């Protein structure tokens, strides 16, 4: 007996994608580029995802029937050389720390306008945008970072795949903890209304 076919998965629709902001700084150039050729730098990454529904309208100004969301991926990369002495003997405290200044800093904001599956509830739409939508935009972000670091005189930085599903779940846990913390810090309704006295 054949099992029934699974229902078709309705994917996101990507209407537009764009580079919102990009900056590259190389404070130690050209010496920093030479140092990076001798010793691969350590790259630290900070990632932030923001998603919100858009008030999308047609050319005549009327609201579109299709709900669309904007997703912004914000990345910050900072590359430094490993401090001398960490791999072997400790470096002298009297020597200036030349690694305090990063070799390069990249800040990038990349956006997309996406339509979640038709009929999605708000939280389901938000999840689809923050997970599947981020996966759609990630290859373009990865290429921009590789190109700009190479044009800056360094080896291209190639980002590893990111678990956006895991990031979404972690965000939900953080939001839950923040809500519980705010609820504990908030006084009960009776106290807020000035009626917190005991009644007998």
**Segments forming the whole domain that contains residue 76:** 13-55+64-80+99-186
Q: What are the pLDDT tens digits along the chain (200 aa)? A: 454 443 334 578 999 999 999 999 999 888 888 888 888 888 999 999 999 999 877 677 777 677 899 999 999 999 998 765 444 444 444 343 444 689 999 999 999 999 998 878 888 999 999 999 999 999 999 999 999 999 999 999 999 999 999 999 998 998 888 888 887 877 665 555 554 555 44
Note the pLDDT of residue 14. Answer: 93
Indicate whether 74 belongs to any domain: yes
Crossing angle of helices 164-185/134-151, nearest 10°? 110
Indicate whether 132 belongs to any domain: yes
Indicate whether 87 belongs to any domain: no
Note the pLDDT of residue 180. Answer: 83
Pick from 113, 138, 136, 135: nearest CA to 18? 113
Domain count for the chain: 1
From the CA atom positions of the chain, what is the Rg in Å?
A: 24
Q: Which residues pair with 21 in a beta bridge?
A: 109
Indicate whether 85 belongs to any domain: no
Note the pLDDT of residue 179. Answer: 82
Indicate whether 86 belongs to any domain: no
Q: What is the CATH number of the domain that holds 159?
A: 3.10.420.10
Indicate whether 197 belongs to any domain: no
Helix (H, G, I), strand (E, B) or coil at 153: coil
Phi and psi torsions of 171, nearest 5°: -65, -40
pTM for the predicted model, two decimal places: 0.74
Contact criterion met (CB below 8 Å) for 110 and 73: yes
């Amino acid at each position: 007996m054949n099992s029934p076919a699974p229902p078709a998965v309705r994917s996101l629709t990507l209407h537009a994608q764009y580079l919102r902001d990009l900056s590259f700084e190389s404070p130690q150039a050209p010496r920093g580029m030479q140092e990076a050729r001798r010793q691969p730098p350590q790259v630290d990454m900070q990632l932030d995802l923001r998603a919100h529904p858009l008030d999308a309208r047609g050319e005549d100004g009327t609201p579109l029937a299709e709900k669309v969301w904007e997703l912004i991926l914000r990345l910050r990369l900072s590359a430094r050389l490993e401090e001398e002495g960490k791999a072997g003997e400790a470096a002298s405290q009297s020597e200036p720390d030349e690694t305090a200044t990063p070799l390069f800093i990249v800040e990038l904001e990349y956006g997309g306008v996406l339509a979640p599956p038709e009929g999605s509830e708000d939280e389901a739409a938000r999840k689809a945008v923050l997970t599947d939508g981020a996966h759609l935009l990630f290859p373009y972000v990865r290429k921009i970072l590789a190109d700009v670091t190479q044009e800056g005189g360094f080896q291209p930085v190639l980002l590893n795949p990111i678990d956006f599903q895991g990031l979404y779940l972690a965000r939900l846990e953080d939001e839950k903890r923040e809500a519980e913390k705010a609820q504990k810090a908030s006084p009960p309704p009776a106290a807020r209304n000035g009626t917190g006295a005991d009644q007998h």
